[in-house]
C-alpha cells in the first residue's frame, strides 16, 4: 500500500465508490478509507438495498400483488419468521459488497480499513483496525461518510422494541402492532411494508401531511391506499412520552391519547457522519445535523477538500450522491468531463404502492403562480393495469401555452422505473406531444403516458375555448 495518492476518499458508499472509480478511470492513484466492517455504506448494508429487498419480500409473502386476482384473497402466510425475510436481504447485501470490491479492484484502488481523520488539507490519518496509524498524503480529499439515523435525546433506542431505520432490519420478531413516528420517506416506506404484512400500523406525523414534497393529489391517493391496507394515520400528532412497558411500548401523545404497541420505529431524519473527521479544526463549515456546506462543485471552504452524498444533505439519494461525487472529482482534477449534476432529478418513494416524481408539481405551480394544466391516466383503465390489479395514477403537469412538460407524478406499480420516460422528455425540453407520438408496447403501464397526454390535450382545448370566450 502506498502512502502518496492523487485522491483519498473517506467512505465507500455510493458517493465514495463512484468518486474513487471516476478518478481512477482517468489514471489517478486513489485510496478509499472505510471504518465500517464492510464496503458499501448504508446504501448496501443498512438502507437502500436491504429496505427495498424487504419490501419485495413482503409483497411476495403477503400475496398483496395477487389479492383480488384469479379469485385469490389471502393475507400473510402462516409461520413466516423474520429469518424468512432477512435471508434474501443478506444474500443481496453480500453480493453488493462483492460488486463494490470488484469495481475497486479493477480500478486498482487501495482500500485502507480504519477511521480517517483529516489532519491538514492534504493529509488523512487512518487509525487502522490493528491499532496502528498511517498518514495518507494526497492532492485532494473527498468526504463521503454518509449519514446515520438521528436519535432524539429522550428516546431510549434498544434495538428490540424501540428501533431506528438501521436497527429495524435486525428485528427478531414480526409484531402484531407497531407505531411509526415520522411521515417522511423512511417512515412511510416502512409503515407501508409492515402494513402489507398485516401488521396493525399507526403512522404518527407531527405536521398536517405526510411527504410534503410530493404532489398533494398523489400523497392523498397514497393515504387512501394505505388506509385500505389497514394503516391508521394520525396527523398533527406530537409525542409527549415514550415508555417501554415489558413486552410493549406505550406512546403518549400531546392530545392525551395513549397507544400501546409491540414496537415503535422512529424515523426522525438523519444526521451526517462527521464526528471525528477534524473538520472544525480546518475551518470547514458544518450546518445543522452535521451537514457539510459545499459550493456548486461540491467543494468545501478548503479548496482541496470536497464532499458528496448524504453528508451534504438533501436530496441524499444514492443516484444523486454518485453524480455529485463524479462532478467533485472531475472539478478537482480539471478533467472537463462532467461539469454538473443534471437539473432533472427523478425521485422515488418505495412505499406500497410506489411513488415517483420528476419536475415540478401542481402545488408548486399554484404557489409560484406558474400557469399549468394537468393530464391524468388511471391504471384501472390501462390493460396491463387491469391484468395486474394496479390502482395507480399518472399525472402530467404542463404549460398551457406550448404544452411543454413541467413535471410528472406517478403512484402505482413500477412507478420508480416508469418515471424515467418523463425525465427524458423533461431533460430534452419537449412537449407532451412526445408521449402521443411515441409507440409503447401493448399491454404495458408505459402506455399510460399516451393517454395522460391525450387527457391533457383535451383539457387544453377546453382551456383555449374558455380563454377565447373570456
Residue 425 sits in a domain of what CATH number? 3.30.390.30
Q: Is residue 145 part of a domain?
A: yes
pLDDT tens, residue order, the chain (470 aa): 669 999 999 999 999 999 999 999 999 999 999 999 999 998 898 888 888 888 887 787 776 655 555 444 445 555 566 666 667 778 888 999 999 999 999 999 999 999 999 999 999 999 999 889 999 999 999 999 999 999 999 999 999 999 999 999 888 888 999 999 999 999 999 999 999 888 999 999 999 999 999 999 999 999 999 999 999 999 999 999 999 998 999 999 999 999 999 999 999 889 999 999 999 999 999 999 999 999 999 999 999 999 999 999 989 999 999 999 999 999 999 998 888 999 999 999 999 999 999 999 999 999 999 999 999 999 999 999 999 989 999 999 999 999 999 999 999 999 999 999 999 999 999 999 999 999 999 999 999 999 999 999 999 999 999 988 86
* Residue 218 near residue 224, CB atoms below 8 Å: no
**From the CB of residue 189, how many other CB atoms can be counted at a distance below 10 Å?**
23
* Residue 191 near residue 283, CB atoms below 8 Å: no
Peptide bond before 443: cis, by omega within 30 degrees of 0? yes
Q: Is residue 106 part of a domain?
A: yes
Domain boundary among 268, 286, 305: 268
Burial of 191 (0-12, 13-18, 19+ CB in 10 A): buried
Q: How far apart are CA 268 and CA 282, in angstroms?
A: 30
Q: Is residue 342 part of a domain?
A: no
437/360 same-domain check = yes
Domain boundary among 268, 289, 316: 268
Q: How far apart are CA 240 and CA 168, in angstroms?
A: 22
Q: Is residue 228 part of a domain?
A: yes
Q: How far apart are CA 121 and CA 100, in angstroms?
A: 27
130/35 same-domain check = yes
182/322 same-domain check = no
**DSSP states along 402-450:** T-BEEEEEEESTTHHHHHHHHHHHHHTT-BTHHHHH----SS-GGGHHH
* Residue 174 near residue 201, CB atoms below 8 Å: no
Q: Is residue 396 part of a domain?
A: yes
* Residue 267 near residue 351, CB atoms below 8 Å: no
Q: Is residue 34 part of a domain?
A: yes
Q: How far apart are CA 317 and CA 385, in angstroms?
A: 29
Query: What is the model's pLDDT at position 85?
Result: 67
38/73 same-domain check = yes
244/112 same-domain check = no
Query: What is the model's pLDDT at position 228?
Result: 92
45/78 same-domain check = yes
Q: How far apart are CA 295 and CA 97, in angstroms?
A: 31
200/137 same-domain check = no
Q: What is the DSSP letter of 209?
A: S
Range of the domain at 260: 162-268
Backbone angles phi, psi at 36, to 5 degrees: -75, 165
Q: Is residue 339 part of a domain?
A: no
Query: What is the model's pLDDT at position 79?
Result: 56
Domain boundary among 229, 253, 268: 268
* Residue 278 near residue 298, CB atoms below 8 Å: no
Q: What is the pTM of this model?
A: 0.91
Q: Is residue 340 part of a domain?
A: no
Give the length of the chain: 470
Residue 179 sits in a domain of what CATH number? 3.50.50.60
Which pLDDT tens digit goes with each residue over 140-181? 999 999 999 999 999 999 999 999 999 998 888 889 999 999
100/175 same-domain check = no
Domains of the chain: total: 3
The three cell numbers of residue 105 are 479492484
Backbone angles phi, psi at 270, to 5 degrees: -130, 165
215/122 same-domain check = no
453/307 same-domain check = no
The three cell numbers of residue 470 are 373570456
The three cell numbers of residue 323 are 453524480
243/282 same-domain check = no
260/279 same-domain check = no
Q: What is the DSSP letter of 290?
A: G
Amino acid at each position: 500500500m502506498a502512502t502518496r495518492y492523487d485522491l483519498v476518499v473517506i467512505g465507500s458508499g455510493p458517493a465514495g465508490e463512484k468518486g474513487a472509480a471516476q478518478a481512477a478511470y482517468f489514471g489517478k492513484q486513489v485510496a478509499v478509507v472505510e471504518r465500517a466492517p464492510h464496503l458499501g455504506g448504508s446504501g448496501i448494508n443498512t438502507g437502500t438495498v436491504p429496505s427495498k429487498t424487504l419490501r419485495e419480500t413482503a409483497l411476495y409473502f403477503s400475496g398483496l400483488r395477487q389479492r383480488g386476482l384469479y379469485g385469490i384473497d389471502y393475507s400473510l402466510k402462516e409461520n413466516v419468521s423474520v429469518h424468512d425475510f432477512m435471508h434474501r436481504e443478506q444474500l443481496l447485501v453480500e453480493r453488493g459488497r462483492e460488486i463494490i470490491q470488484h469495481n475497486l479492484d479493477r480500478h486498482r484502488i487501495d482500500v485502507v480499513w480504519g477511521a480517517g481523520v483529516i489532519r491538514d488539507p492534504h493529509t488523512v490519518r487512518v487509525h487502522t483496525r490493528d491499532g496502528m496509524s498511517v498518514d495518507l498524503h494526497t492532492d485532494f480529499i473527498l468526504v463521503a461518510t454518509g449519514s446515520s439515523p438521528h436519535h432524539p435525546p429522550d428516546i431510549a433506542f434498544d434495538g428490540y422494541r424501540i428501533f431506528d431505520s438501521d436497527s429495524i432490519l435486525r428485528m427478531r420478531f414480526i409484531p402484531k402492532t407497531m407505531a411509526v413516528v415520522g411521515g417522511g420517506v423512511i417512515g412511510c416506506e416502512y409503515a407501508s411494508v409492515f402494513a402489507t404484512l398485516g401488521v396493525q400500523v399507526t403512522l404518527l406525523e407531527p405536521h398536517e401531511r405526510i411527504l410534503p414534497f410530493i404532489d398533494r393529489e398523489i400523497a392523498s391517493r397514497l393515504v387512501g391506499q394505505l388506509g385500505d391496507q389497514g394503516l391508521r394515520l394520525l396527523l398533527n400528532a406530537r409525542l409527549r412520552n415514550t415508555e417501554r412497558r415489558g413486552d410493549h411500548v406505550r406512546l403518549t401523545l400531546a392530545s392525551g391519547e395513549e397507544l400501546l404497541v409491540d414496537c415503535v420505529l422512529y424515523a426522525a431524519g438523519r444526521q451526517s457522519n462527521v464526528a471525528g473527521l477534524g473538520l472544525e479544526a480546518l475551518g470547514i463549515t458544518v450546518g445543522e445535523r452535521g451537514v457539510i456546506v459545499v459550493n456548486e462543485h461540491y467543494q468545501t471552504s478548503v479548496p482541496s477538500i470536497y464532499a458528496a452524498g448524504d453528508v451534504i444533505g438533501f436530496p441524499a439519494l444514492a443516484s444523486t450522491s454518485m453524480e455529485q461525487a463524479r462532478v467533485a472529482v472531475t472539478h478537482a482534477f480539471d478533467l472537463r468531463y462532467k461539469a454538473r449534476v443534471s437539473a432533472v432529478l427523478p425521485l422515488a418513494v418505495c412505499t406500497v404502492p410506489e411513488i415517483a416524481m420528476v419536475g415540478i408539481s401542481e402545488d408548486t405551480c399554484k404557489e409560484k403562480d406558474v400557469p399549468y394544466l394537468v393530464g391524468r391516466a388511471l391504471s384501472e383503465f390501462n390493460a396491463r393495469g387491469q391484468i395486474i390489479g394496479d390502482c395507480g395514477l399518472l399525472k402530467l403537469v404542463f404549460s398551457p401555452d406550448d404544452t411543454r412538460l413541467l413535471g410528472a407524478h406517478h403512484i402505482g406499480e413500477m412507478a420508480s422505473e416508469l418515471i424515467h420516460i418523463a425525465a427524458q422528455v423533461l431533460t430534452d425540453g419537449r412537449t407532451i406531444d412526445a408521449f402521443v407520438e411515441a409507440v409503447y408496447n401493448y399491454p404495458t403501464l408505459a402506455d399510460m403516458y399516451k393517454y395522460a397526454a391525450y387527457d391533457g390535450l383535451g383539457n387544453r382545448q377546453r382551456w383555449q375555448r374558455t380563454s377565447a370566450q373570456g
